[in-house]
Structure 1
Amino acid sequence: MALKRMDNVGIVVDDLEEVVAFFRELGLELEGRGMIEGEWAGRVTGLGDQCVEIAMMRTPDGHSRLELSRFIRPPVVADHSNAPVNALGYLRVMFAVDDLDETLDRLGKRGAQLVGEVVRYEDAYRLCYIRGPGGLLIGLAQELG
């Protein structure tokens, strides 16, 4: 049996409106929104009685998705939003962009802050990490050449 694809990466957020607007500014498309609740949902996650508002965001090429979730119940139990990149767990998502400087300018107007600095990796990429809404750690990469 072979792996077919990666469907999405899930990110728990506090302010769904702000995060959706941020990722739209980055260039993702809102694929859909909705409430997830009921006995079946709690069985899948192991959380029991849950109510979650989600927004599914899709990259322009249609191959990758982010599932943004705002938990109404049960409440969020941990906050990793300020964890450094070397902390255990899933901490960042990396996006390829056409123009890194222009992207940083647009996202900076939405409150994104550069972590460290923009660096050049050989003749292949310009790279950086930013902190977005709620402290989300996001990588940006511009291919060179």
Structure 2
Amino acid sequence: MALKRMDNVGIVVEDLAGAIDFFRELGLELEGRATIEEEWAGRVTGLGDQHVEIAMMRTPDGHSQLELSRFLRPPVVADHRNAPVNALGYLRVMFTVDDIDETLARLRKRGAQVVGDVVQYKNAYRLCYIRGPEGLLIGLAQELS
């Protein structure tokens, strides 16, 4: 049996509307929103009685999704948003963009800050990390060839 695909990456946020706006500005499309509090959801996550608002964001090519979640119950138990890139666990999502400078100009209007520098890797990519909404770590890559 072979792996078929990766469906999505999940990010927990406090301000769901703000995160949706930010990722829309980046170029993702809002696929849908829902509130989930059914018994099955608490069983699959191991959280028991949970109540969560989610938004599914899709990349323009239709192949990748980002699931933004805002937990109303149970309360959030840890905060990794300001962890550096060398911390253990899932820390960042990388997006390929057409023009990194134009993308940064748009995202700065929504509070994004470049973590280090925009750098060039050989003749292949321009890359940077930014802190987006709520300090989320996001990578941006621009293909050069």
When normalised by structure 2's length, the TM-score is 0.99
Q: Provide the secondary structure at the position in 2 that maps to 1:102.
A: helix
Aligned to 1:83: 83
Equivalent AA in structure 1 for residue 52 of structure 2: V
Aligned to 1:139: 139
The runs of at least 4 aligned residues of structure 1 exceeding 3 Å deviation read: none
> In the TM superposition, what whole-angstrom CA distance separates every residue of 1:113-138 from its partner, at most 9, and x where no partner exists?
00000000000000000000111000
| 1:84-103 → structure 2 map (5 Å cutoff) | 84-103=84-103
Give me the whole-angstrom Cα distance separating, in 2, the residues matched to 1:9 and 1:45.
15
| 1:46-61 → structure 2 map (5 Å cutoff) | 46-61=46-61
Give me the whole-angstrom Cα distance separating, in 2, the residues matched to 1:40 and 1:141.
38
How far residue 49 of structure 1 moved from its aligned partner, in angstroms, is: 0.1
| 1:65-84 → structure 2 map (5 Å cutoff) | 65-84=65-84
Aligned to 1:17: 17
Instruction: Give unmatched runs, 5+ long, in structure 2.
Output: none
Give me the whole-angstrom Cα distance separating, in 1, the residues matched to 2:38 and 2:144.
48
Equivalent AA in structure 2 for residue 105 of structure 1: A
How far residue 88 of structure 1 moved from its aligned partner, in angstroms, is: 0.3
Give me the whole-angstrom Cα distance separating, in 2, the residues matched to 1:34 and 1:143.
35
The sequence identity of aligned pairs, in percent, is 83
* Root-mean-square deviation over aligned CA pairs: 0.4
Instruction: Give unmatched runs, 5+ long, in structure 1.
Output: none
Aligned to 2:117: 117
Aligned to 1:32: 32
Aligned to 2:4: 4
How far residue 38 of structure 1 moved from its aligned partner, in angstroms, is: 1.6
When normalised by structure 1's length, the TM-score is 0.99
Give me the whole-angstrom Cα distance separating, in 2, the residues matched to 1:31 and 1:113.
26
Give me the whole-angstrom Cα distance separating, in 2, the residues matched to 1:85 and 1:122.
22
Q: What is the aligned length? A: 145
Equivalent AA in structure 2 for residue 75 of structure 1: P
Equivalent AA in structure 1 for residue 127 of structure 2: L
